[in-house]
Chain A
């Protein structure tokens, strides 16, 4: 099996919870920065006023309350969810190339949105988040079904293969639809890159509680993921019911990813890379990787969103594009510095 050991870390590792306060502070700092900063420079006084004494006829207040604040909150939720889901995926499949899109979740969501837009046009636009979720869940179900039908059952290898196949299939269908119906391409090319502009905060009220539950569950189950990563036999020998654990973990991943897609479209990269970065600092025990990944992911996405909004005013770059543009060089640098 693909037993990929973590790269040998040469520098000082973080011990247990020692890094958490710092990360939490960092998260709070970028959150406040996100609200205070944007394409339109607004004095701190205005920011405080908007939060305390909201005046709906003052467009500056509207900017802060209805544009920046929801974005910041969504960024935190989505960033944490995708990173945590990615860490779990890598643990369950024991493959460093795994991320939430592997189960076909992001492709399923994108596919459902593109198809419904092509068929129903703008009438379906308000329903995009729900359609995205339905697509994500449907694709995950199919991937899991196929993996179970493979002789040997839903092993990490069969899951990853099935996921890759379904993702490729759905991606191809999406491209065909784009080629045949140019209007969908033009309408959706922004959504498909993953972004936080024009998002519906009301949606958070629906999916938020589920995602919060899933985040907690993920952190609680994390300790057992380490054992799972050592191999099924080892884990079973230590008393873990691997079948049940895998099902629980996959459920968490699916809820988090589907919710994230509903909120922010198919945002890639975070789920794949943040767990690796975290691993460079805390080692290979998922007990720590998972919670750190959630915090780091949240802070990262909020920071990236700030950049997306202020980099080249008056333009705004889709967050999904910036995420990789900034993150990848950082990631490369980190891997070089901290591994042998």
Chain B
């Protein structure tokens, strides 16, 4: 039986030694690697596509010189917003999943548990199948409204005068999600088949039509929600050990849980409203991050976000370029690529520790 070697840490102290951060080295290294990978992928994504643009021309267009109007269009209006949106959405969905898994203390929790994906899907499918005359501009708003409504419904249904319990919340989430999914299914199965097919692509999670407006929306909300999340990370660490222990450690459990749910729903709802339900990322990214490098909650969240961004960015790139002109939505590639990677991580990880 080998002795357990404690993982190496990096300790940062503020000048007067009043604040000290002890950060695991492995996690920091992995985070740096992930960031580098993100940058590489971004560059690759800008240079790849069905419209052949030489790398030199891409570089010149990015620097502001117009090689041709068409190339300007392709790089600035099509590829750039798409790349940024993919990364942002990936990070948001991953973080949403991580927060939910902590809040419900169930490793199977992901944004679809609170009905966010289903609510958005129902709202959009209803609009697509029953009222196709509405312009596409309304879609993100409708999706967002659907997500929030369902999340609120789950919350209010599971909340009683004695306060909500985790399991009741989960059960309500299951019930409501199933109900909504069945209605969506009915619309897809019995609606006009052409309209149903249009909805299918959005339902798979497609970044095909993102514009700068979408990127602004995503970035804006991330800027608001991410700091809030990092602020609660201390309380989240304590909650890993159960409500009783957390309260004993001084963590404001009820407040934190409410805040967590709000943040998780916020992330997922915004992301879903822009690109459709992106499943799987929220479920798997937190697990993968933990197996790559165990870390404290704050760093774990950053790792999860980076991993999610990487996954979706890669998925979008492959989906639009690998079989061009056939387009495969990012949401599907995410699962196709992410699962084998995740399985490998599962198998090669250390003996499972408490989640």
Asked if A and B form a direct contact in the complex, defined as CB atoms under 8 angstroms apart, the reply is yes
| A interface list, Cβ under 8 A from B | 1-2, 4-7, 95-97, 146, 149-152, 155, 157-158, 160-162, 164-166, 168-169, 171-173, 175-176, 178-180, 182, 185-186, 189-190, 193, 268-269, 272-273, 276, 315, 317-318, 320-325, 327-329, 331-332, 335-336, 339-340
How far is it, in angstroms, between the C-alpha of A324 and the C-alpha of B181 when the chains are bound? 8
How far is it, in angstroms, between the C-alpha of A39 and the C-alpha of B57 when the chains are bound? 66
- For chain B, residues 196 to 244, give those with C-beta under 8 angstroms from any C-beta of chain A: 196-197, 200-201, 204
Q: Which residue of B lies closest to A332 (CB)?
A: B175
- Among the stretches B261-269, B280-288, B300-308, the one at the interface with A is B280-288
How far is it, in angstroms, between the C-alpha of A179 and the C-alpha of B327 when the chains are bound? 9
How far is it, in angstroms, between the C-alpha of A62 and the C-alpha of B108 when the chains are bound? 47
Nearest CB of chain B from residue A273's CB, rounded to whole Å: 7
Q: Is the CB of B167 within 8 A of A325?
A: no
Q: Is the CB of A335 within 8 A of B175?
A: yes
Q: Which of A161, A166, A317, A340 has the most CB of B within 10 A?
A: A161
| B interface list, Cβ under 8 A from A | 105-108, 113, 157, 160, 162, 165-168, 170-172, 174-176, 178-179, 181-183, 185-186, 188-190, 193, 196-197, 200-201, 204, 279-280, 283-284, 287, 326, 328-329, 331-336, 338-340, 342-343, 346-347, 349-352, 354-355
Q: Is the CB of A160 within 8 A of B347?
A: no
Q: Is the CB of A272 within 8 A of B346?
A: no
Q: Is the CB of A146 within 8 A of B346?
A: yes
Return chain B residues, CB-CB under 8 Å to A273.
174-175, 178
Return chain B residues, CB-CB under 8 Å to A175.
200, 204, 329, 332
* Cβ-Cβ contact count across A and B, 8 Å cutoff: 161
Return chain B residues, CB-CB under 8 Å to A164.
108, 283
How far is it, in angstroms, between the C-alpha of A157 and the C-alpha of B290 when the chains are bound? 14
List 24 A-B residue pairs with CB atoms under 8 Å apart, sorted by A's residue number: A2-B355, A4-B106, A95-B106, A96-B170, A97-B174, A157-B352, A158-B346, A158-B352, A160-B107, A164-B283, A165-B343, A166-B339, A168-B284, A168-B339, A172-B334, A172-B339, A175-B332, A176-B328, A179-B329, A269-B178, A272-B178, A273-B175, A331-B175, A332-B179
Q: Is the CB of B352 within 8 A of A152?
A: yes
Nearest CB of chain B from residue A4's CB, rounded to whole Å: 5
Return chain A residues, CB-CB under 8 Å to B352.
150-152, 155, 157-158
Known: A97-B108, A164-B283. A328 touches B332 (CB 8 A): no
Main secondary structure of the interface of A (DSSP, over half): helix
How far is it, in angstroms, between the C-alpha of A168 and the C-alpha of B287 when the chains are bound? 15
Known: A162-B343, A179-B329. A151 touches B279 (CB 8 A): no
Return chain B residues, CB-CB under 8 Å to A321.
182, 185-186, 189
Q: Is the CB of A317 within 8 A of B280?
A: no
Q: Is the CB of B279 within 8 A of A325?
A: no
How far is it, in angstroms, between the C-alpha of A164 and the C-alpha of B351 when the chains are bound? 20
How far is it, in angstroms, between the C-alpha of A193 and the C-alpha of B329 when the chains are bound? 22
Q: Is the CB of A193 within 8 A of B185?
A: yes
Return chain A residues, CB-CB under 8 Å to B331.
172
Q: A2-B355, A321-B185 are in contact. List 12 more A-B contacts (CB 8 A).
A: A2-B107, A4-B106, A4-B167, A158-B352, A161-B107, A161-B287, A179-B200, A185-B200, A315-B190, A317-B186, A320-B185, A325-B186
Nearest CB of chain B from residue A197's CB, rounded to whole Å: 12
Nearest CB of chain B from residue A207's CB, rounded to whole Å: 26
Q: Is the CB of A172 within 8 A of B336?
A: yes
Known: A7-B171, A150-B349. A171 touches B107 (CB 8 A): no
